[in-house]
């Protein structure tokens, strides 16, 4: 029981991903909303085990990129290659099944369901029994349902949420809702985790805990993480490489130190002339 | 204007007794022991059976009028539970439930009517038809799910062609076999094997199931393109569906090839086969299937669509499929309810399936609480017994036109309900069998076996 979440029967660890091939490679990704070019010629490569950051001022197109990766938006052009397969234009549920988990900028929990059910829903695609089994309440249903519940509880235990598992998600405080959302995204058993502003609305103490948590799940589940964040302290403290976007285009990429010193980035955030001030 | 206080009191006691009976039934069905479960169901069945059949003094405890309400309440429960799955659990606002109820009623009635008139073709064509259509739909679904990027209207066209072909084959074969079976009915004087009372019951059972599946298949074809519309537009489209079905019923003898349905004059001569055994059986079946779906991974997926479609997509759930699934299952329940109703009342008129009456199940599920199965069942029985039973009689005593006031009192009751208890009569409370088994948080010792110390655990891979 101890390490059930890590020994799931998915082939995710079996796929031979050498350190050289990126988990996610995006080439020339473009998105138009009518005449507005929200994302233009966006390129990024995220390597296995990496913790990459995507930052930029409001409206730079970061969330649009996330929505295209997870299939919620149809790209106007370009390629999104996940472990050698082009996933651009797939349905969101297909993308999730291929190993992309995500959280949302404004928390999107299933508010009127319990914490446990929220996590169990992420297991739905691996539930292993059909509706007919459920109607018949046969042995297969009992066994699989118990297994699924135990796995979900393992996740809740990792996130210290087991004591509130029967609370409705909407009744939780903000910080716990964030943790439930991350637990839920992890329960869908991703290879690549997309975190959209995980630290939004958290106080400095909570941010430190969250940073530890992200490091922990990354190591524990062998994840590759791409995250969007506005809190500079958080991004600079956690990301190995950062890509900066402004007006739908990449304006800089590099290590946190390089980004901090990049005049273009400073200009994008603080306005023209600020870099020399 | 004189209201008989004894009548008032007795009716109120009856309503309370019916609700207590529902509570008891749900408790015993949910009992852990198999024997208590089976015994309890039989007792629950017998209590009502005795109450409607054994006369005490001049009439049984539940008079003919009361048992009529009881049967109406049973069918209403099936229809409303189906609608609750669609609207309450899946979040798709549908006004088409009454249409599927009507489809079920007319389909089942036509099969048994034909059988009663020594025509086996009705049963064979319909039975073969729903089976073949079901197979075609499943097969096409298999094929289409492997392909990507097929527009929904193309898929719909494919399904439609498949269904028409399957239907034509069923019509051809069914009619031929039906013709061949006619001698087995015998004559009026010497009824053959097929005309026996036992066969009438079997045919009724099959007819109700076929009617349910037929309604479900219609809902599949209708829902496939229409469920892609947003929620409000879906509601309007389903309202349109109800009206179309009603118009078809009014003209069933002219533009549809069913002279026995007699169009707007109403279909008469449907064998009254529904007894308490059948009503109870189908009610129990619907409740059990509904509960087993809701409290499973499928049910959770259905509910996640209601809560947040985007998040549910991101959790790997095929949202379009689950909308269709709950719509089809909901219509299946409505079709079964329709079949049971038709054989209780013995007379079908398009007026019964008017879309205005079709708001009743909607009012009932809102009244009972969206997403509460117990609430729906209690509200269905309460609604029929209180408003149709008590209020109608009392108003009837006040004047010949007074019962019309019901249609003023319904909305007022609903308005008060929305203001005073927006979550519905019972909120999210479920009784006995319908309650979700709560998973206990694991004890501290168990939890401690999982490394929870953040940052300290080694990489597991």
Rounded to whole angstroms, how far apart are CA atoms B246 and B102? 8
Q: DSSP secondary structure string, B405-424?
A: GHHHHHHHHHHHHHHH-TT-
The answer to whether position B285 is within a domain reads: yes
The answer to whether position B194 is within a domain reads: yes
**Domain residue limits at B209:** 5-118+186-431
Identify the band that residue A12 occupies on the pLDDT scale cut at 50, 70 and 90: very low
pLDDT, position A273: 65
Global pTM?
Answer: 0.91
pLDDT, position B457: 35
A2 touches chain B (CB under 8 A): yes
Pick the residue from chain B with its C-alpha nearest to A116.
Answer: B439
Overall average pLDDT of the A112-137 stretch: 93
Which residue, among B138, B294, B450, would best test binding to A if mutated, counting the most A CBs under 10 Å from its CB?
B450
SS3 of residue A40 by DSSP: strand
Task: Tokens for B65, please give them.
Answer: 């009028």
The Cα of B169 is separated from the nearest Cα of chain A by a number of Å equal to: 28
**B-side interface with A, Cβ within 8 Å?**
148-149, 289, 292-293, 296-301, 303-304, 307-308, 310-319, 325, 371, 438-439, 441-442, 447, 449-452, 454-455, 457-461
Count how many pairs of residues, chain A against chain B, have C-beta atoms within 8 Å. Answer: 154
A109 touches chain B (CB under 8 A): yes
Q: pLDDT tens, position by position, for chain B (461 residues)? A: 456 788 888 888 999 999 999 999 999 999 989 999 999 999 999 999 999 988 888 888 888 888 999 999 999 999 999 999 999 999 999 999 999 999 999 999 999 999 998 889 999 999 999 999 999 999 999 999 888 778 899 999 999 999 999 999 999 999 999 888 888 887 777 787 788 889 999 999 999 999 999 999 999 999 999 999 877 899 999 999 999 999 999 999 999 999 999 999 999 999 999 999 999 999 999 999 999 999 999 999 999 999 999 999 999 999 999 999 999 999 999 999 999 999 999 999 999 999 888 889 998 999 899 999 999 999 999 989 888 888 878 888 887 887 788 778 878 888 888 898 888 888 878 999 999 888 888 865 555 444 443 333 333 33
Q: DSSP secondary structure string, A95-112?
A: HHHTTEEE--SS----TT
A42 touches chain B (CB under 8 A): no
A146 touches chain B (CB under 8 A): no
Q: Using the beta-carbon criterion (under 8 Å), do B318 and A91 form an inter-chain contact?
A: yes
Domain A4-11+22-276 has CATH 3.40.50.10860: no
The answer to whether position B143 is within a domain reads: no
Residues found in chain A: 277
Q: Looking at the predicted structure, is the pLDDT value of residue A243 above 90? A: yes
The Cα of A87 is separated from the nearest Cα of chain B by a number of Å equal to: 12
Q: How many folded domains does chain B comprise? A: 1
Rounded to whole angstroms, how far apart are CA atoms A267 and B358? 63
The Cα of B310 is separated from the nearest Cα of chain A by a number of Å equal to: 8
The answer to whether position B209 is within a domain reads: yes
Rounded to whole angstroms, how far apart are CA atoms A80 and A96? 14
Rounded to whole angstroms, how far apart are CA atoms A101 and A45? 17
Q: Looking at the predicted structure, is the pLDDT value of residue A19 above 70? A: no
The answer to whether position B230 is within a domain reads: yes
Identify the band that residue A4 occupies on the pLDDT scale cut at 50, 70 and 90: very low
- Contacts of A147 by beta carbon, 8 Å cutoff, 6+ apart: A128
Q: Looking at the predicted structure, is the pLDDT value of residue A3 above 70? A: no
**Phi, psi (5° rounding) for residue B425?**
-50, -50
Rounded to whole angstroms, how far apart are CA atoms B155 and B151? 6
The answer to whether position B449 is within a domain reads: no
The answer to whether position B307 is within a domain reads: yes
pLDDT, position B127: 96
Helices (H), B117-229: 121-146, 152-181, 197-226
Chain A residues close to B317, C-beta within 8 Å: 93, 121, 124-125
Nearest to A62 by CA among A206, A235, A272: A235
The answer to whether position B60 is within a domain reads: yes
The Cα of B5 is separated from the nearest Cα of chain A by a number of Å equal to: 44
pLDDT in tens, A155-165: 899 888 989 99
A32 touches chain B (CB under 8 A): no
Name the DSSP letter for residue B153: H
Say which of B314, B439, B450 has its CB closest to residue A149.
B439
**Phi, psi (5° rounding) for residue A254?**
160, -170
């Amino acid at each position: 029981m101890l390490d059930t979440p890590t020994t799931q029967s998915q082939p995710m660890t079996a796929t031979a991903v050498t350190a050289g091939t990126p988990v996610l490679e995006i080439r020339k990704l473009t998105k138009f909303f009518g005449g507005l070019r929200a994302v233009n010629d966006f390129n990024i490569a995220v390597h296995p085990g990496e913790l990459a950051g995507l930052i930029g001022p409001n409206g730079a197109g970061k969330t649009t990129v996330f929505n295209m990766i997870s299939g919620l938006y149809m790209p106007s052009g370009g390629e999104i290659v996940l472990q050698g397969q082009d996933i651009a234009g797939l349905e969101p549920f297909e993308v999730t099944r291929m190993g992309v988990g995500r959280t949302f900028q404004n928390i999107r929990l299933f508010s009127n369901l319990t914490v446990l059910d929220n996590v169990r829903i992420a297991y739905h695609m691996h539930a292993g029994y059909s509706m007919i089994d459920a109607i018949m309440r046969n042995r297969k249903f009992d066994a699989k349902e118990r297994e699924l519940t135990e796995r979900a509880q393992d996740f809740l235990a990792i996130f210290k949420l087991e004591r509130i598992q029967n609370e409705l998600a909407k009744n939780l405080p903000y910080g716990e809702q964030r943790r439930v959302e991350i637990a839920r995204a992890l329960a869908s058993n991703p290879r690549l985790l997309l975190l959209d502003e995980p630290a939004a609305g958290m106080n400095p103490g909570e941010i430190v805990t969250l940073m530890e948590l992200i490091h922990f799940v990354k190591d524990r589940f062998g994840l590759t993480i791409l995250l969007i964040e506005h809190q500079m302290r958080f991004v600079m403290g956690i990301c190995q490489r950062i890509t900066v976007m402004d007006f739908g285009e990449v304006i800089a990429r590099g290590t946190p130190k390089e980004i901090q010193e990049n005049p273009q980035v400073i200009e994008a955030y603080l306005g023209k002339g600020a870099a020399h001030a | 204007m004189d209201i008989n206080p004894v009548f008032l009191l007795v009716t109120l006691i009856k309503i309370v007794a019916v609700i207590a009976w529902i509570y008891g039934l749900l408790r015993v069905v949910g009992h852990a022991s198999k024997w208590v479960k089976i015994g309890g169901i039989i007792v629950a069945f017998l209590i009502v059976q005795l109450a409607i059949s054994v006369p005490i003094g001049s009439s049984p405890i539940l008079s003919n009028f009361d048992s009529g309400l009881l049967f109406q309440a049973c069918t209403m429960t099936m229809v409303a539970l189906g609608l609750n799955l669609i609207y309450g659990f899946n979040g798709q606002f549908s006004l088409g439930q009454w249409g599927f109820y009507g489809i079920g009623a007319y389909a089942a009635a036509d099969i048994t009517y034909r059988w009663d008139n020594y025509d086996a073709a009705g049963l064979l064509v319909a039975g073969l038809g729903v089976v073949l259509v079901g197979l075609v739909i499943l097969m096409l679904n298999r094929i289409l799910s492997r392909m990507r990027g097929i527009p929904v209207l193309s898929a719909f066209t494919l399904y439609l062609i498949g269904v028409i072909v399957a239907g034509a084959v069923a019509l051809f074969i069914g009619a031929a076999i039906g013709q061949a079976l006619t001698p087995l009915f015998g004559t009026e004087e010497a009824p053959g094997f097929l005309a026996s009372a036992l066969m009438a019951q079997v045919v009724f059972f099959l007819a109700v199931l076929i009617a349910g599946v037929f309604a479900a298949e219609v809902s599949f074809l209708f829902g496939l393109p229409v469920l892609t519309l947003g929620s409000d537009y879906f509601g309007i489209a389903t309202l349109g569906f109800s009206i179309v079905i009603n118009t078809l019923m009014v003209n069933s003898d002219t533009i549809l090839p069913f002279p026995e349905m007699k169009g707007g004059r109403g279909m008469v001569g449907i064998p009254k086969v529904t007894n308490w055994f059948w009503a109870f059986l189908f009610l129990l079946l619907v409740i059990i299937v509904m509960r087993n779906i809701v409290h499973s991974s499928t049910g959770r997926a259905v509910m996640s669509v209601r809560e947040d479609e985007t998040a549910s997509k991101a959790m790997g759930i095929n949202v379009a499929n689950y909308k269709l699934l709950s719509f089809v299952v909901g219509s299946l329940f409505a079709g079964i309810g329709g079949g049971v109703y038709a054989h209780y009342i013995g007379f079908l008129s398009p007026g019964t399936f008017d879309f205005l009456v079709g708001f009743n199940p909607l009012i009932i599920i809102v009244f009972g609480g969206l997403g509460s199965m117990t609430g729906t069942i209690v509200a269905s029985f309460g609604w029929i017994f209180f408003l149709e039973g008590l209020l109608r009689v009392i108003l009837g005593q006040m004047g010949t036109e007074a019962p019309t006031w019901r249609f003023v009192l319904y909305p007022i009751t609903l308005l008060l309900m929305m203001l005073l208890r927006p979550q519905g009569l019972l909120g999210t409370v479920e009784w006995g069998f319908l309650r979700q088994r709560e998973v206990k948080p694991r004890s501290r010792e168990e939890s401690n076996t999982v490394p929870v110390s953040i940052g300290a655990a080694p990489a597991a891979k």
